Structure formats: C-alpha cells, structure tokens
Amino acid sequence: MPARWQDLSLRLRLTFLYIGLLLVLLIALGSFLYLDTQNFLITTTLIRLQSQAQPGVERVVHPGGGPRPAPPGPASNGGAPRGANGNGPTLAEIAGFLADSQTSPETTAAVFDTGGKLLADGRTLPEQPISAPPDNARITQALAGQDGIYYTTAVGGQHTLVLLIPLRGLGSDQAVDGVMQLSSRLDLIDQVLARQQLLIIGGVLITLLLGTLGGLWLTGSALAPLQWMIVTSRRIAGGDLSQRVNLPRRADEIGQLATSFDDMVARLEETFAAQRQFIADASHELRTPLTAIAGSLDVILLAPEGDPETTHRMLSGMRRELQRLTRLTSDLLTLNRLDAHPSLRLQTPDLAALASEVAEQIKPVAGERQILVERDGDTRINGDADRLKQVLLNLIDNAIRFTDPEKGVIRVGVYQAGKNVRLVVSDNGSGIPPEAQPHIFERFYRVDKARARSSGGSGLGLAIVKAIVQAHGGAIAPVQSEPGQGSVFELSFPRDGASPASSPPAK
C-alpha cells in the first residue's frame, strides 16, 4: 500500500478529497439542523411557560404596591390567601398560592425569597417533575431583576428546563420580592431531538455512501481516457509509433489533450518515417557513385599496363563521380544546417542584382542558352544574400540542365509586388509531367532518375530552395509546367516583414 499521499493514484486522491469535503459539509449541515431544531423547541417551550405563568403572576401582584384584593383562586377561601392578621397575605402565603397555581403535570413551580430561601414548592404528585435544586448564582441574577434566565439541567435523571421569573410588586414597592422557578421536563423534546439525530446520522451515512460510489464512478470515468493514454504512450515508447489514443470526440480538456497527443505522435511518426527515408535515399545516392568508382578502379587495377585511352576514360568517369559525390555531400550538409538551425546572416540585398550576378557566373556552363534577367520596382529584401544566391543558382542551374543547349531561353524576373518581391524563373525546356509536379520539391525526387543523375543532379536542389524560402518566411507557388513546353517557378519573399529566426525549419 502506498504510504504517502503523493503515491496514491489521482483517482483515489480526488475521491478522498471529495469525500472529505462532503463529510465536513454534511457534519456542518447536520449540526446546524440539530442545533436549530433544539433551539426552536426550547424557545417554544420557554414562550409557552412564560405565557402560562404571566396571568397567574399578575393576579397576585399589583403595580401600586401591596398584594391585590383576593382574586378567585384555588385557595380554600375562594380567593388569594389572606394574611394571618387578616390585613393581607404574607409573602409565604402568596408564594404558596403561586407555586400551587403554576404547577401542572409537566411543570413544577417553586418560589424563593430575596435571601434565596425556598418559600414554596408546588409539587404534590409523584408524576410532576421534581423542582431543580436552586442555582444560587442564577437566582441572585434574577433577584437583581434580570428577566428571562433559563437553563437546562438533569434533575433526578430527567432532562429539565428551568426558567426563573423575578416577582415584583409583592411588597410595598416595585422591588423584586422573590423569584419563581419553573422546572419543566424536556422528555418530549428530547425524543424529537433523538429522532432528528438519528435521521441526520442516517442521512449523512447514506449520502456519504452514495457520494463515495458516485465519486469513484465519476473520477473513474473522467480519468479512464488518461489511463488509456498511459497505455498508448507506453506502447509508443516501446517503438510502435502507429499507436493512437483515438478517443471518441470530446471537447473537454482531456479530449483536447488526447487530440494534441495523437497529433504529436502523428508528426513524430511522419518525421521518423521521413528521416528513415532520407537516410535510405542518401545511402543509395552515395552508394551509386562509390560503386561506379570502385568498378573503374577494379578495371584499372586488373590491367595496370592496359590501353591508356581506356584508363583515361575510366579516370575521367571517376572524376565525374567524385564531383557528384562532392556536390551531394555539400547539398546534404546545406540541408542539414537549414533543418537544424536556419540561421541567416540578414542584410538587405537587391534580389534582382543577385539574379544578374548569378546569371553572369553561370554563363560558362550555359553554352548557347540565353539567360535574360528582368526587374521591376524595389527588389531589395530582408534576407541572407548567400542563401538567396543559392536559390537562384539551383533554379537557373535546373533550367539550364533541362533546356536545349542551343534553343534554350531562361528568363529570370524579379518584381516588387506590394510588400513582397516575386522571383519568376522560367524556361522553354523539357517541362515536368503533371503527376511529378507535386513531388519535385521532395528530397531526392527526380522525374527521370538516370537522366537527372547523369546531368549531375543530386535530387536535393529544389529541396534546398524550399528550405531557404521557408527560412525567409517566403512562399513557393505550385510549379507551372507543360512537358515539351517549359516550366515556370514562382517564389515570393516578404520585403522586410520576415522573421527568419522564428520560421519553422523546412522538412
């Protein structure tokens, strides 16, 4: 069993927290209900006691001082007791009368004088409640004139409510002459409260049980997708990148997490697949010239004294293959750098000027082909001049390789287009078949492998173009081409708004 709270499963922790909170709330609510009912019942009893006592007390006192003339009452002479001297009732007689008249089967009245001495106790029958023993401190308070003093206490094993009523006007003035103590049994109230307590405890237990089951079900169903994600991620970590969480569509946070997780794994799978493909293609591309060189070397080694012309041809072939290898490795290096961190040395080169420069440089290999550069507007852009020259070189080099050596015309147009600069490289060469057009920017893709390879292409030229354009925050339009008619490559670069550092690395 996990010893620490953090080691418990999220499901258990959530359930425990939820049950704890529920328990605290239920206890608070139950206690409030219980105390409120208790308070209500005792207050009701007090009001009843007070309203029952009021008329009796008023009958034996009068505001002017001295006892009232004898009202009809339970005394044998048919009125309030008279004093022994015949002038009026004594305090003890009034107390006796009051105690008798206020005692009922549920309540017993007792009267105390100003010294706290018991003057009279109205209990005559055993079923009447026993008077609470005098609480001197409280009686003193009542004698001091404080109304409404009450408390509960146990008397003879019975829960009893005690109410103290100060008696005023029994003597000659308004001073307090004594205290009447009413002791009333609370057994009925206690029965109601016990029932209430039972109901509350039962309710709390049932609610807690249902709450626990509900909480476990709720957390279980809410966290089940996470459990499934854990299983899936373990399988993925084990190497199976085809695994997906594939949760049924849900818009909550867990649904979003699962969707992002699946998207992330899909991208990882794509990246790994692309990497594997890239390594396979690169190895293949490297192996072809190496095999050719090895073959030529074998021929030379087999006949070291052989025909010099053949040897020369072999060596020239080997030189070509080595040149191809050099270009391939340098292209791979360029792509790798662009992938890893497309850091650009930003200046504001004039793209049209760069185009003229590259056209001039490449002329020696263009033969009879015409290279025409056209410009319009402000064609300066925020970019890396060397990288941009590489873009121009790759596009113009392709155009040269795929056009007729004599009739080939290559047009390089650089135009300002609002906040962008457009670069259009077109030729009247062999064109690209429609089914190949979407793929030509892929790494190592070549329409006609044998032909492209023999013309020195590594299949990485356009991939490098794409990576550089993306690093500049630019865009490449779909190539326009018709077999036999020629091709048009159109690129656009933001003039100054590019933030190459934040642009994603090219695939």
Binding site for ligand ADP (CB under 6 A): 394, 398-399, 402, 427, 429-432, 440, 445-447, 452, 457-463, 487
- To ligand ADP, the closest distance from the beta carbon of 406 in angstroms equals 17
Q: In a 10 Å sphere around its CB, with 0-12 CB exposed, 13-18 middle and 19+ buried, how is residue 153 labelled?
A: middle
Count of residues making up the chain = 507
Contact 405, 368 (CB under 8 A): yes
| Residue 130 or 488 with smaller CB distance to ligand ADP | 488
- To ligand ADP, the closest distance from the beta carbon of 220 in angstroms equals 55
- To ligand ADP, the closest distance from the beta carbon of 404 in angstroms equals 12
| Residue 358 or 440 with smaller CB distance to ligand ADP | 440
Which 8-state DSSP code applies to residue 442?
S
| Residue 112 or 489 with smaller CB distance to ligand ADP | 489
Q: How are beta strands 475-476 and 370-376 bridged, if at all?
A: unpaired
- To ligand ADP, the closest distance from the beta carbon of 472 in angstroms equals 18
| Residue 121 or 397 with smaller CB distance to ligand ADP | 397
Tell me if residue 173 falls in helix, strand or coil.
coil
Partners of 481 in beta bridges? 487
- To ligand ADP, the closest distance from the beta carbon of 435 in angstroms equals 12
- To ligand ADP, the closest distance from the beta carbon of 279 in angstroms equals 18
In 54-117, beta strands by DSSP E = 107-113
d(CA 503, CA 335): 15
| Residue 180 or 282 with smaller CB distance to ligand ADP | 282
- To ligand ADP, the closest distance from the beta carbon of 437 in angstroms equals 9
**Residue number closest to ligand ADP, CB atom:** 457
Q: At what angle do helices 308-340 and 253-302 cross, to 10 degrees?
A: 160
Tell me if residue 374 falls in helix, strand or coil.
strand
Structure tokens at 475: 């865009």
| Residue 269 or 490 with smaller CB distance to ligand ADP | 490
| Residue 244 or 453 with smaller CB distance to ligand ADP | 453
Q: In a 10 Å sphere around its CB, with 0-12 CB exposed, 13-18 middle and 19+ buried, how is residue 176 labelled?
A: middle
With CA atoms as reference, report the closest residue to 146 among 115, 161, 131, 168: 168
| Residue 106 or 285 with smaller CB distance to ligand ADP | 285
- To ligand ADP, the closest distance from the beta carbon of 464 in angstroms equals 8
d(CA 261, CA 387): 36
Contact 351, 384 (CB under 8 A): no
**For residue 111, how many other CB atoms are within 10 A of its CB?**
27
